[in-house]
């Protein structure tokens, strides 16, 4: 799952020098993910994984890093 | 009515009314006026050598005080986007050639002209002076708003008192603003949307509430804030409203106080607008159109019954007393308006920007529909609209070409259903150079919204048979990769 998220984020949303060196805990917001990027990311996730991410959970802490994103998605995939 | 007259009147008539709110801090009209007098007496004491003052503050209470204090000493204000990298900020400051720079606290290290720095904190101890705000000549420049320039460097749109007042008065009456209004303000002051928040709203005795920027990352918190602050009017960009429509928890967050929503800066995708209209059934929406050079020159009150998902909404009817013309050959919209800029400020002086007959040529292609409404059909040149910001590809190209590793480059916009367009770049690197070496110059040279979201390296740029860059081929390559 992280590979797919990674590809989408670094190919479509933000440009970083070496995506390979961007760790799963590095800060996506600092790297340039903005409100429009978050919106596109959420639409991508909902389509790709068939989950519905609740409106009230869209906040910086859940989109801060690849690990945070994955955990957020998994919480909703199970439930 | 002169720009500051109505505001001054409000300060006298309703001194106790709340003018500004920023987080836990709020100022009444009387307190605001007091702070403005203190800062303007500081400015008068400094005897600024040139009647231009850069405001190096983020939007908010301090920046508002600075704007009015600068106008009060008959100077013009030049708001900086503090999120810009220092290189671009210094460029703008040098180009503006100001007499003073108002900031907060100690002068930052990056500033190339520290002798101009004035800490707004000093004004707290200043006497309130003569308690007079100058009444400027209507043709005096009131503001210079820097925007992306097609020559590769930012350019300043110089707006007179006449231009700001004409828009402010039109908006106040068209949207029937009352002193009871609670206005959410999100636009940075270098963005022309802020002219509404600062001048239309404060002229009406309304309360301007600065929305915390972090809320834009969390649409449900944003709508909860609108509810809690009982916001009645909000002027912002479609991309943010689209985010709220899709993910703002509006079904469980009714906004009974919200009555007017204005949007401008980019095309609002109609399906998202329909969703938003359904979620906010009692709100009146308005589509406002116009480049910074003309401010709003066209507007359309949203007619819900006419919204069709597959059909773009019109930009509507002439606004602010503008006279509109469509060039027969090109379809370009030409605007004659009291809102029009006085000229472009570049390299310390004012250059002309209007045609001989006083029209501004927008570079936007438009047509008239059967109902006599204007409709927008995109740009005639390469300018991009990214989340409401206007971006000239040539400015990004100039930064890329300044990297020693880059032999050639081209920047285009990739269409995006949520934010209009996103800049993307194709670069041709010099032999042996690596793509990652150009990242630092980009991050240092361009604000976030201008940074390409995608960069690919090619051996050569694709050209058309006439020798021009083949932008269609570039778009294909960037979308495929």
Two tokens, residue B134 = 């100058």
Closest CA to B204 of B185, B178, B169: B178
Q: What is the mean pLDDT of the segment spanning B374-390?
A: 88
Please, what's the b/e burial string for B215-252 (b: 16 or more CB within 10 A of its CB; e: otherwise)? bbbbbbbbbbbbbebebbbbbbbbbbbbbbbbbbbbee
The average pLDDT across B426-442 equals 87
Q: Is it the case that residue B417 has pLDDT exceeding 90?
A: no
Which residues of chain B does A34 touch, with a Cβ-Cβ cutoff of 8 Å? Answer: 216-217, 387, 448-449
Give the pLDDT score at A79. Answer: 56
Does CATH place domain B389-480 in 3.30.300.30?
yes
Smallest Cβ–Cβ distance between B454 and the set A11, A38, A55 belongs to: A11
- Which residues numbered 452-471 in B keep a CB inside 8 Å of some CB on A? 452-455
Contacts of B404 (CB under 8 A, 6+ apart): B430
pLDDT value, residue B444? 84
Spatial separation of the C-alpha atoms in residues B234 and B261, rounded to whole Å: 5
| Inter-chain residue contact A36 with B435, CB threshold 8 Å | no
Contacts of A60 in chain B (CB under 8 A): 214, 217-218
Average pLDDT over residues B21-26: 97
Residue B325 clears pLDDT 70, i.e. is over it: yes
pLDDT band at B125 (very low <50, low <70, confident <90, very high): confident
Question: What count of other Cβ atoms lies within 10 Å of the Cβ of residue B67?
Answer: 25
- Shortest Cα distance, chain A CAs vs residue B42, angstroms: 37
Contact of B79 with B62, CB cutoff 8 Å: no
Distance CA B361, CA B54 (A): 28
Q: Which residue has the higher pLDDT, B77 or A36?
A: B77
Lowest mean pLDDT among A63-72, B161-170, B281-290, B426-435: B426-435
**pLDDT at position A13, please?**
86
Nearest chain B residue to A53 by CA distance is: B247
**Alpha carbons B93 and B278: distance in angstroms, whole number:** 45
Cα–Cα distances (Å) from B334 to B145, B151, B345, B358, B436, in that order, read 21, 21, 21, 10, 43
pLDDT of residue B388: 78
Confidence of residue B188 (pLDDT cuts 50, 70, 90): very high
Lowest mean pLDDT among B94-103, B156-165, B395-404: B395-404
- Give the model's pLDDT for residue B418: 67
Does the beta carbon of A16 lie under 8 angstroms from any beta carbon of chain B? Answer: yes
Residue B62: CB atoms within 10 A of its CB come to 21
Q: Hey, do B1-158 and B389-480 end up sharing a CATH topology, with the first three levels equal?
A: no
Residue ranges per domain, chain B? 1-158, 389-480
Percent of chain B with pLDDT over 70: 99
Instruction: Render each residue's pLDDT in chain A as its tens digit; 79 residues.
Output: 889 999 999 888 888 878 888 999 999 998 888 888 899 899 999 999 999 999 999 999 999 999 999 999 999 986 5
User: Which among B334, B332, B333, B337 has a CA at the least distance from the CA of B322?
Assistant: B337
Assess contact for A36 and B247: CB atoms under 8 A.
Answer: no
Q: Is the pLDDT of residue B86 over 70?
A: yes
- B249-280 residue pLDDT tens: 999 999 999 999 999 988 898 999 999 999 99
Q: What is the mean pLDDT of chain B?
A: 93
**Residue B27: helix, strand or coil by DSSP?**
strand
| A-B C-beta contacts closer than 8 Å | 71
Q: Report pLDDT for B129.
A: 67
Report angle CA B338, B339, B344 to the nearest 5 degrees: 115
The two tokens of residue A68 are 């945070």
pLDDT value for B386: 83
Contacts of B246 in chain A (CB under 8 A): 39, 43
Query: CA of B248: which chain A residue's CA is closest?
Result: A55
B339, B322 contact by CB (below 8 A):
yes
Find out whether B300 and B280 touch, Cβ atoms under 8 Å.
no
The nearest alpha carbon in chain A to B451 belongs to A15
Residues of B in Cβ contact (< 8 Å) with A38: 217, 243
Q: Mutate which of A55, A62, A72 to test chain B, going by most B C-beta atoms within 10 A? A: A55
> Is the confidence at residue B106, as pLDDT, over 90?
yes
What are the start-end ranges of the E strands in B127-264?
A: 141-147, 155-160, 182-185, 207-210, 233-236, 260-263
Q: How far does the CA of residue A79 sit from the closest CA of chain B (Å)?
A: 20
Shortest distance, CA B40 to any CA of chain A (angstroms): 37
Q: Which residue has the tokens 């928040």?
A: B197
Confidence tier at B130 by pLDDT (50, 70, 90): low
In terms of pLDDT, which residue wins out, B97 or B444?
B97
What are the chain B neighbours of A44 within 8 Å (beta carbons)?
A: none
At B304, list the tokens: 């819900």
φ/ψ of B145, rounded to 5, equals: -105, 115
Compare CB distances from A36 to B218, B239, B452 and report the shortest one's residue: B239
- CA dist B326 and B361 (Å) reads 10
d(CA B265, CA B191): 10
- pLDDT tens digits, one per residue of B50-61: 999 999 999 999
Cα(first)–Cα(last) distance of chain A, in Å?
17
Mean pLDDT lowest among B244-253, B368-377, B463-472: B463-472
Rounded to the nearest 5 degrees, what angle is found at the Cα of B199, between the Cα atoms of B134 and B376?
130
pLDDT, average across residues B203-224: 96
B335, B390 contact by CB (below 8 A): no
At B416 the pLDDT is 77
Phi, psi of B364 (to 5 degrees): -100, 140
Architecture of domain B1-158: 3-Layer(aba) Sandwich (3.40)
Structure tokens at B348: 């310390």
Residues A40, B416: C-beta atoms closer than 8 Å: yes
- Environment class of A30 (CB within 10 Å of its CB; exposed 0-12, middle 13-18, buried 19+): exposed
How many CA atoms are closer than 13 Å to the CA of A28, on its beta-carbon side?
27
3-state helix, strand, coil in chain B (%, to 5): 30, 25, 40
Interface test with A, best of B85, B217, B249, B409 (most A CBs within 10 A): B217
Give, in degrees to the nearest 5, the angle at Cα B359 between B356 and B363: 115
Average pLDDT estimate for B156-184:
97
- Chain A 23-62, residues with CB within 8 Å of chain B CB atoms: 29, 32, 34-36, 38-40, 42-43, 55-56, 58-60
If pLDDT is split at 50, 70 and 90, which confidence band does B5 have? very high
Q: Is the pLDDT at B83 greater than 80, yes or no?
A: yes
């Amino acid at each position: 799952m992280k590979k797919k998220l990674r590809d989408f984020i670094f190919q479509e949303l933000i440009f970083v020098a070496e995506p390979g060196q961007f760790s799963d805990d590095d800060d996506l917001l600092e790297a340039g993910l903005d409100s429009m990027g978050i919106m596109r990311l959420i639409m991508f996730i909902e389509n790709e994984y068939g989950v519905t991410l609740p409106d009230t959970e869209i906040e910086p802490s859940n989109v801060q890093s690849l690990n945070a994103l994955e955990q957020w998605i998994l919480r909703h995939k199970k439930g | 009515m002169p720009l500051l007259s109505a505001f001054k009147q409000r300060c006298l008539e309703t001194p106790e009314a709340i003018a500004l709110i920023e987080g836990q801090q709020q100022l009444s009209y009387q307190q605001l006026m007091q702070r403005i007098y203190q800062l303007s007496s500081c400015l008068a004491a400094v005897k600024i050598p040139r009647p231009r003052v850069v405001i190096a503050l983020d939007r908010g209470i301090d920046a508002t005080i600075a704007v009015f204090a600068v106008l009060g000493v008959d100077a013009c204000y030049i708001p900086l986007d503090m999120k810009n990298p220092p290189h671009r900020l210094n460029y703008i400051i040098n180009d503006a050639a100001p007499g003073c720079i108002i900031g907060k606290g100690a002068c930052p290290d990056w500033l190339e002209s520290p002798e101009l720095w004035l800490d707004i904190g000093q004004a707290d101890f200043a006497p309130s002076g003569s308690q007079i705000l100058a009444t400027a000549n209507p043709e005096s420049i009131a503001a210079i708003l820097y925007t992306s320039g097609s020559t590769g460097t930012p350019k300043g749109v110089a707006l007179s008192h006449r231009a700001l007042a004409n828009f402010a008065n039109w908006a106040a009456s068209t949207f029937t603003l009352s002193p009871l209004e609670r206005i959410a303000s999100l636009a940075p002051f270098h963005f022309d949307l802020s002219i509404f928040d600062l001048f239309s709203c404060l002229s009406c005795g309304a309360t301007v509430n600065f929305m915390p920027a972090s809320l834009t990352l969390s649409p449900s918190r944003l709508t909860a804030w609108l509810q809690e602050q009982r916001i009645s009017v909000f002027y912002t960009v479609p991309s943010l409203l689209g985010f709220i429509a899709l993910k703002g928890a509006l079904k469980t967050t009714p906004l009974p106080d919200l009555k007017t929503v204005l949007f401008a800066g980019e095309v609002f995708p109609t399906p998202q607008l329909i969703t938003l209209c359904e979620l906010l059934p009692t709100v009146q929406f308005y589509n406002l159109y116009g480049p910074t050079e003309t401010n709003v020159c066209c507007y359309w009150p949203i007619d819900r019954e006419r919204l069709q998902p597959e059909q773009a909404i019109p930009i509507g009817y002439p606004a602010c007393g503008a006279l509109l013309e469509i060039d027969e050959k090109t379809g370009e919209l030409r605007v004659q308006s009291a809102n029009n800029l006085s000229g472009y400020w570049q390299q310390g002086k004012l250059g002309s920007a209007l045609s001989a007959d006083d029209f501004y040529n927008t570079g936007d292609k438009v047509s008239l529909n059967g109902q006599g409404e204007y409709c927008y059909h995109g740009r005639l040149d390469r300018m991009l609209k990214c989340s409401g910001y206007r971006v000239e590809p040539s400015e990004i190209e100039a930064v890329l070409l300044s990297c020693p590793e880059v032999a050639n480059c081209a920047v285009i916009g990739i269409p995006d259903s949520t934010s209009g367009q996103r800049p993307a770049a194709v670069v041709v690197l010099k032999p042996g150079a690596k793509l990652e070496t150009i990242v630092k110059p980009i991050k240092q040279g361009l604000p976030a919204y201008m940074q390409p979201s995608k960069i690919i390296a090619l051996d050569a740029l694709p050209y058309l048979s006439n020798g021009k860059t083949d932008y269609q081929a570039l778009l294909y390559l960037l979308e495929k990769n």
